[in-house]
Amino acid sequence: MKRLVILFCFLCSALPAAAMTDASELAAKGTVESPSGPEISGDTQGYSGTTVGGSSWDRPFADGTCCSGLGPVVYQTQAFWVSDNATCAISSTQDGWDGYLFVYADPFDPSNQTVNFIAGDDDGLGGIGTSDIESVNLTGGVLYQLVTTGFAAGDEGTFTNSITCDSTVHLGATVIPTLSEWAMWILMAGMVASAGYFGRRRLQL
């Protein structure tokens, strides 16, 4: 009997997680999330924008699987990066509409929704009208795209987003090398220059 119980538990643990569907998302609407861990402190960068007039896509689900049939929905993107490897908390407040938030590694391709997907969230700690990605690990010096979009067709409007990381946060698509990267490039350039100098000296001799 004990062996049968162990076998049953093993088979249950091996079953794949249930795939997200439009029905499961709709059933979860209005469920307020609880904080999943300690609050992340550090550098915070915020910005406001609107999805009105934006391009449309068929968004994925919060787990990155594709795709919701409730769209298409309009979206807006914001490029950002962190100076060093960091744990980040990303939040969005939508002004009177039901939004969704995604993080992608650049490049973001709205027609390949699962490619470069990192994290997503529908309703955050404040319920409908908020989205919270409470903890996501990001790599320093890598460009990311924060995608703000709607839950279903017609969900659009203005929003305010914030990115808090335990490293310096930069908004924009230009990634500036860190001091260690600059030092490495200078060292490599010096080695190349030295090799060229000594090569010329040998030819002269």
Phi, psi of 161 (to 5 degrees): -115, 155
pLDDT exceeds 80 at position 175: yes
Tens digit of pLDDT for each residue in 149-163?
Answer: 999 999 999 999 999
Please report, for the chain, the start and end positions of each structural domain, with discontinuous segments joined by +.
10-199
Contact between residue 124 and residue 92 where contact means Cβ atoms under 8 Å apart: yes
Pick the more confident residue, 106 or 183: 106
Tens digit of pLDDT for each residue in 69-127?
Answer: 999 999 999 999 999 999 999 999 999 999 999 999 999 999 999 999 999 999 999 99
Give residues with Cβ within 8 angstroms of 142, minimum separation 6: 81, 105, 106, 175
CA 139 to CA 110: how far, in whole Å?
Answer: 22
Structure-token match 């049968």, residue found: 4
Structure-token match 């769209």, residue found: 71
Pick the more confident residue, 24 or 121: 121
Which structure tokens are listed for 172? 């924009």
Which structure tokens are listed for 32? 């307020």
pTM of the model: 0.78
The domain defined by 10-199 folds into: Jelly Rolls (2.60.120)
The secondary structure of the chain in percent helix, strand, coil, rounded to multiples of 5, reads: 20, 35, 45
Which structure tokens are listed for 176? 């500036």
